[in-house]
Structure 1
């Protein structure tokens, strides 16, 4: 597989550690996640034992420094692991992505040493799961319009409001919540607060009945006069919006890798089916129409993989990765939707039933064009970066 390095050249080799990560993630996905994946999707329930095993394997804090219990790995390795997990179970990979990209990364990058010792060490090992709370009923793509408020009460904040579409909303023990403290400052008045599950006034809404990633629990979270200690604010007063945007840039790499994995998983199943299924005395792979579909699928997946790995490499090298992450997320999510639809078509009637997995992958693919910033938002981000 290819990893882009310098702007002037390419290195088409992964390191030994990265290849080991791929093998470990693939083995875990096949041995632990594949059995029961259809049932978990049907029942909309993720197995907490699997979450624990993902933590034990090091998948929940891959990029966190070892001093805080993480794997200390690079972003490319992380993207590879997300890709392999997503080939089998996108519900598992989105939990993994949020915990790694949004919660752990935000805490390690911007949190105090006390916050890291108290929360990050447990999040990185998967002992507890984290949630990232930005979206609201009236603040989706327009993240500046935060109606959740954090009133400054001196030694604590009084948190009130509702957050929507929160991945791991019921499973999470720790939430990073964006809230408006100084409305007159607009987005510069937003703070990020660490809120623990079980706090007085903190309640979880009903689970959303979703089209895809159904085993991942998605809920609304409600806050009614929740007291949050001042020491649970991340960064200086008014730093919350900058934290959210910085975190989402990296989060887009995780979702791009998820989209890539969904597409690759559907393609692999379609390729295998095309060699096994016969019509008119021949495997359907012998038909040029099927060959063309698979050739297009393989080409688009490889292009998406290059974009995802490039964004990850940019991040690892300390380069500005805003544009590359947005491009990777935009393209990989479109590829996921297209490839999974074609995979269903290649399977024919069998593609429409759960047993063959591709209908689930198609349902899972759609959300990658929506969360962590819609495709339209990615285009805006890319366009703005073009004229910087």
Structure 2
């Protein structure tokens, strides 16, 4: 289906679930949370093999294990680890991570999407852009400002539940490639985010973001390594 899906800009859930069944989303994840007992080296080799079939599907590794699951494993509470990680590994949760905005790319500290503390919850407003799995994700990491005046020291990370009211998703088809990989713009309008979804400490999201990128960039590098030999 891959070439057909690439032409039609179609993300195929059956492929995603088969990858989960084969254990592809368990690299670098502790076995007690469903990990496959293998690490970054084995994961890199797996990504290279998937890239031989099509590069769109190597994106799934970062959206599941080396993005959300591994970051939660490093920074989450034990309750969060037990609840979320097995579901990302099994494919029950379709993962994502959102940091890029329409006018903000590599300069993460300048993001404008923000969540204001309202006592019992955070009120979320803003936009995210070029988000992989954006129209299909049900849970993922979302980086936002929780202190608008603190720069990098005012960013927090939430384990976002995309069933919450107030979220709009717009699929992006105008790309130069990776068409079988879903990409979207996300808009948040007065979304009430439960405080239990905060990952790690408040205003410490920038450090988590940089740690996560160290892992997910390895996934990108593995693909480039194969492409350079193709």
Q: TM-score, normalised by structure 1?
A: 0.58
Measure how far apart 1:71 and its partner are.
1.1
Measure how far apart 1:120 and its partner are.
1.2
Aligned counterparts of 1:261 and 1:98: Cα–Cα separation in 2: 19
- Of 226, 244, 263, the residue aligned with 2:209 is 244
Is 1:94–1:258's contact at 8 Å kept on the other side of the alignment? no
Name the one with the larger strand percent.
2
Question: Could you say which residue in structure 1 is the equivalent of 2:85?
Answer: 120
Is 1:128–1:173's contact at 8 Å kept on the other side of the alignment? yes
How many residue pairs get aligned? The number is 230
Deviations 1:268-301 (A, max 9, x none): xxxxxxxxxxxxxxxxxxxxxxxxxxxxxxxxxx
- Of 173, 176, 181, the residue aligned with 1:211 is 176
Question: Could you say which residue in structure 1 is the equivalent of 2:227?
Answer: 262
Is 1:178–1:190's contact at 8 Å kept on the other side of the alignment? yes
Is 1:70–1:125's contact at 8 Å kept on the other side of the alignment? no
Is 2:156–2:204's contact at 8 Å kept on the other side of the alignment? yes
Aligned counterparts of 1:263 and 1:212: Cα–Cα separation in 2: 16
Question: Could you say which residue in structure 2 is the equivalent of 1:96?
Answer: 61
Following TM superposition, the consecutive aligned residue runs of length 4 or more in structure 1 with deviations greater than 6 angstroms are none
Aligned counterparts of 2:115 and 2:143: Cα–Cα separation in 1: 9
Residue 107 (structure 1) aligned with residue 107 (structure 2): no
Is 1:82–1:97's contact at 8 Å kept on the other side of the alignment? no
Aligned counterparts of 2:73 and 2:26: Cα–Cα separation in 1: 11
Is 1:95–1:167's contact at 8 Å kept on the other side of the alignment? no
- Of 161, 167, 173, the residue aligned with 2:138 is 173
Measure how far apart 1:75 and its partner are.
0.7
Aligned counterparts of 1:141 and 1:244: Cα–Cα separation in 2: 11
Aligned counterparts of 2:87 and 2:63: Cα–Cα separation in 1: 15
Q: TM-score, normalised by structure 2?
A: 0.96
Aligned counterparts of 2:25 and 2:175: Cα–Cα separation in 1: 24
Structure showing greater Rg: 1
- Aligned-residue CA RMSD (Å): 1.2
Aligned counterparts of 2:24 and 2:145: Cα–Cα separation in 1: 33
Question: Could you say which residue in structure 2 is the equivalent of 1:87?
Answer: 52
What secondary structure is seen at the aligned counterpart in 1 of 2:144?
strand
Question: Could you say which residue in structure 1 is the equivalent of 2:35?
Answer: 70
Is 2:124–2:188's contact at 8 Å kept on the other side of the alignment? yes
Name the one with the larger helix percent.
1
Is 2:67–2:212's contact at 8 Å kept on the other side of the alignment? yes
- Of 8, 23, 31, the residue aligned with 1:58 is 23
